[in-house]
Structure 1
């Protein structure tokens, strides 16, 4: 029997969600996104769980949406509908994380790029190992990071966001900490233990007070986030219909430099 692609564990007061496709660098397939949503619903119902750690199996945190799955839809009669459904589902997952009443800690054990970087930004804060990297390579694949852009700007401000998005660069854990994406750098083998320490600290506070604080941050200070996420989802879906997107994804899968259409 194959292992689940999303593993859920409970060690009260901490719940742990593990992305478990290490052979695919934990790329987000359609089924994986659905199972992530279910994992959050399951831990929402666990009264003894006061905080969630989200991490990845193997050497990567998450490589973003499964480009092989996306490329397979290219040329299909309903390909635009499939791409739109994919980005909307990812937007819905981010919104679920923002609305989730318990704090979510991203424990970034390796590269977090594209939609995987979005998971880090949708969490309430992030701890990371020195092996973690962070970035948005989408323009080099002919598409845009439309859903992640509002979250990135919300977390670190417009100037840092512009540099990351327009240069399509991937930065080190140290650089990500310096600009506020990661709040702590932890030795790799101590990431989960630090997550447990944080959960115990959170459990010292009233559950309702923590939930209301999170709502204040994400629904009051960040009141326009949902509007921007929807606009970003539409832009992302549109970018996937271009010739550049078809060439960018094909080049990525073939491990070569793209030949952009002129």
Structure 2
């Protein structure tokens, strides 16, 4: 990996975008490296949470347009932009730790994550129309679903950039923390999620995401038993361990199976 850094700390994968000299803008090689990193995370049963962040003063400024002009546009990897925005089959949690600018494709990457923890100095926007483009990496679709139509239209049509605090008010940012405390706050969220059984977490994420596609709450509740992650959780050792640990008044020991 030349343009990202991947670190594993126990059951947690950290993916760090490592092109600070260009605000972590994504070129063709970086797309491929991110696809490989997310594939490895998704496939490894011992990796339970992934954190994506950027080095330097930006999370990600989107596509490296200079590279596109010089080398031409190429197809994105199998799971779409940054190997993430079309990764609809990943039921493990992915957290965006946004340390600075998250613009265009960088904002789309953050929106594709399950939580966004943002430093106070971070900002977000979809400036694609300003360069004659359209935010088709999920940005227009996810933003409208996550904050509502009129607020999303205001950001999209006017290419409006918003602060971390406004992102929290709008609802797409989970928590805003002081600059310099982002990694500590992210680790706090990671530790909180790790207290739950991994298969329970995956079943919960899948139930939320698939349930949103159902015709209503009644259909979602009726069909949740057929969701693959739900079935895996029901049959897991951890489901038994949780009840046993509660009865024995001890902390559960999760195995992820």
- Shorter chain as denominator, the TM-score bin is 0.7 to 0.9
Between structure 1 and structure 2, the one with the greater Rg is: 2
Q: How far did residue 218 of structure 1 move?
A: 2.2
Greater shift after overlay, 130-139 or 10-19? 10-19
Alignment check: 8 A CA contact 1:13 1:200 kept: no
Matched ranges for 1:1-262 at <5 A: 4-73=2-71, 82=73, 85-86=75-76, 89-90=80-81, 93-96=84-87, 98-147=88-137, 148-222=139-213
1:79-102 CA-partner distances (Å, limit 9, x unpaired): 6xx35x249831863121x43221
Aligned residue-pair number: 213
1:259 corresponds to: none
Q: Distance in 1 between matches of 2:182 and 2:56?
A: 13
Deviation at 1:34, TM superposition (A): 1.1
SS of residue paired to 1:134: strand
Closer, same or farther in 2 for the Cα pair 1:64/1:196, shift >3 Å?
Answer: same
* Cα distance change on mapping 1:41 and 1:118 into 2, 3 Å: same
Cα 1:123–1:172, aligned 2, differ >3 Å: closer, same or farther?
same
Compute the displacement of 1:141 (Å): 0.6
Distance 1:15 1:86 in 2: 23
Cα distance, 1:131 vs structure 2? 1.2
Is the CA contact (8 Å cut-off) linking 2:18 and 2:24 kept in structure 1?
yes
TM-score between both structures, scaled by the size of structure 2: 0.76
Q: What's the CA shift string for 1:187-244, capped at 9, x where partnerless?
A: 23222222222222112222222112211222331469xxxxxxxxxxxxxxxxxxxx
Q: How many angstroms apart in 1 are the aligned matches of 2:198 and 2:76?
A: 34
Where does structure 2 lack aligned partners over 5 or more consecutive residues?
A: 216-257
Structure 1: stretches of 5+ with no match in the other structure? 74-78, 225-262
Contact 2:34 2:82 in 1 (8 A): no
Structure 1 or 2: larger helix share? 1
Aligned to 1:16, the other structure's residue is in SS state strand
Shift in alpha-carbon separation, 1:138–1:175, aligned structure 2, 3 A: same
| Segments of 4+ moved more than 6 angstroms | none
- What is the alpha-carbon root mean square deviation over aligned residues? 2.2
Higher relative contact order (CA 8 A, sep 6+): 1
Find the aligned partners of 2:30 and 2:83 in 1 and give their Cα distance: 14
